[in-house]
Amino acid sequence: MNDLPDTVRTYFDALNDIDRSAFLSCFADDAVARDPYGGPVFEGEAGLNKFFDGMERTWEEFQMEPKAAYKGGDRLAVPWTTTAVARNGKRAEFSGVNVFTVDGGGQIAELEAYWDFKAMLAQIRQ
């Protein structure tokens, strides 16, 4: 998908590569991530590292594909689908929408991710 800002493209690439340093480079120092929305809030570098600890602990393979990009002011809504293989060998397929707020420097200041965590978890715990 070519219409994503560079930072948002790097975000998706970093998750797909399970690349912590590339992931962290996408975010402003004081960024806030709610992924999934309604769950724990991950604040700043320490919070984003905690989020990524979960990625590394859970996934052997991870492919998140953005489907479109809808811009409004400093926000960007991106629907996506994911196919992943957990470290226990179980496969999961899930989808959602990420809403990014990008700051003046082009970094992600806020991320809200809307998807069903419990449904995903059920797939890898069967």
pLDDT in tens, 11-46: 999 999 999 999 999 999 999 999 999 999 999 999
Angle at 21 between CA 17 and CA 25, to 5 degrees: 110
- pLDDT reported for residue 1: 61
Beta strand ranges found along 1-126 (DSSP E): 27-34, 41-43, 59-66, 70-72, 75-86, 91-102, 108-115
Residue 118 in any domain: the answer is yes
Average pLDDT on 8-12 reads 97
Please report whether residue 1 resides in a domain: no
Residue 25: other Cβ atoms inside 10 A: 13
Class of residue 93 by CB neighbours under 10 A (exposed 0-12, middle 13-18, buried 19+): exposed
> For the segment 36-74, what is each residue's pLDDT rounded down to a tens digit?
999 999 999 999 999 999 999 999 999 999 999 999 999
Instruction: Quote the pLDDT of residue 92.
Output: 98
Range of the domain at 104: 6-125
Q: Does the global pTM surpass 0.75?
A: yes
Number of separate domains in the chain = 1
Query: Rounded CA gap, 98 and 91, in Å?
Result: 22
What pLDDT shows up at residue 3?
80
Q: What is the mean pLDDT of the chain?
A: 96
Percent of the chain whose pLDDT exceeds 90: 95
Q: Which CATH number belongs to the domain containing residue 44 in this structure?
A: 3.10.450.50
**Does residue 88 lie within any of the structural domains?**
yes
